[in-house]
């Protein structure tokens, strides 16, 4: 296949691009490098620096492409609260621009990397795809709006559309910015350097942490799976882990206690979140292979 990945130098996009190269496919990647790093990419990936809202550039990149993966997005929830205009412009505007170019180029299928954050607070756990989304921040709103655009424009022009709602993905190549860093790489990096960790809220809040290799396998399967047009599919581990338990598991791997500070300066987020992945198993043949303990060990090995 010929594949285009927007956000192709980002955490998920680059892992996906490299996997497709390993499988023998032709891969093009587009990224504005606001958060991505082209050094992550295999040399066989045809990389272009550019904005996903640049429709003429997209026309060029989409020639002969069979499947588009839309991974380009601003992804920080706290940042989205501060800059909702930018998040709407990039995440929603970028999706509309891409779908317009896809329509013009006649691409067969689009796979959107959406997010489990669209669900917000849900009483029923694990969360099924039929749950009513309750987005609680501009980032989540931008992702649900992107889903609707992909589905609507896809239906209007006969473009196959697949939505994968990825829960808390983590892995060694994940960026750890100075503020609002993802919890697992932040905690592991602090543990390796003998630092302390900061737990926002009670620490009893739970998340579904899914290792990057498992996320990539689900994404790859979505390229040519049958019967997935207009499907919304959860991608997670199917396992619930509290932030407190996460610290305990990191301590076990390190073999030493980690000083933990509690802070209410930032909201701890939704109280519970775990994906029902039965639909992914059925439609994509998806089965997570790397559990949280193995994933954390891989993270420790990387940061050491």
Beta bridge partners, 127, equal 275
Structure tokens at 227: 């019967």
Alpha-helical segments (H) within the chain:
11-22, 55-61, 77-82, 84-87, 93-105, 138-157, 183-192, 212-221, 243-254, 278-284, 292-303
Instruction: Specify whether 69 is catalytic.
Output: no
Of the candidates 178, 183, 170, which has an alpha carbon nearest to the alpha carbon of residue 291?
A: 170
Of the CA atoms within 13 Å of residue 228, those in its CB half-sphere come to: 28
Distance of alpha carbon 49 from alpha carbon 45, whole angstroms: 12
- Judge contact between 36 and 101, C-beta under 8 A: no
- Judge contact between 198 and 238, C-beta under 8 A: no
- Judge contact between 168 and 117, C-beta under 8 A: no
Which of the following is catalytic: 69, 87, 139, 149? 139
Of the candidates 235, 171, 249, 202, which has an alpha carbon nearest to the alpha carbon of residue 15?
A: 171
- Judge contact between 209 and 241, C-beta under 8 A: yes
Of the CA atoms within 13 Å of residue 230, those in its CB half-sphere come to: 9
Question: CB neighbours (10 Å) of residue 193?
Answer: 9
Question: Residue 218: helix, strand or coil by DSSP?
Answer: helix
Active site residue ranges: 139
């Amino acid at each position: 296949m010929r594949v285009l990945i927007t956000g192709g130098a980002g955490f998920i996009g680059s892992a996906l691009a490299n996997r497709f190269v390993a499988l023998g496919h032709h891969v093009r990647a587009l990224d504005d490098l606001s958060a991505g790093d082209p050094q992550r990419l295999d040399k066989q990936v045809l990389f272009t620096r550019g904005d996903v809202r640049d429709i003429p550039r997209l026309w060029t990149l989409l020639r002969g492409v069979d499947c588009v993966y839309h991974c380009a997005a601003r992804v920080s929830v706290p940042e989205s609260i501060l800059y909702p205009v930018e998040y709407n412009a990039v995440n929603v505007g970028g999706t509309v621009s891409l779908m317009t170019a896809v329509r013009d180029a006649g691409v067969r299928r689009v796979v959107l990397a959406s997010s489990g954050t669209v669900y917000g607070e849900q009483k029923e756990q694990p969360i099924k795809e039929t749950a009513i989304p309750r987005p609680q921040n501009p980032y989540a709103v931008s992702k649900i709006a992107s889903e609707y655009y992909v589905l609507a424009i896809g239906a209007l022009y006969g473009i196959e559309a697949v939505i994968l709602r990825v829960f808390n993905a983590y892995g060694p190549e994940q960026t750890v910015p100075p503020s609002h860093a993802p919890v697992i790489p932040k905690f592991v990096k602090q543990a390796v350097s003998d630092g302390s960790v900061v737990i926002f809220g009670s620490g009893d809040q739970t998340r579904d942490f899914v290792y990057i290799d498992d996320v990539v396998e689900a994404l790859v399967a979505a390229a040519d799976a049958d019967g997935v047009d207009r499907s919304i599919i959860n991608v997670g581990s199917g396992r619930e882990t509290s932030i407190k338990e996460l610290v305990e598991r990191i301590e076990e791997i390190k073999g030493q206690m980690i000083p933990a500070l509690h802070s209410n300066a930032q909201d701890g987020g939704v109280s519970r979140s775990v994906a029902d992945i039965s639909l992914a198993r059925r439609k994509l043949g998806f089965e997570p292979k790397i559990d949280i303990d193995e994933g954390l060990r891989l993270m420790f090995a990387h940061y050491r």
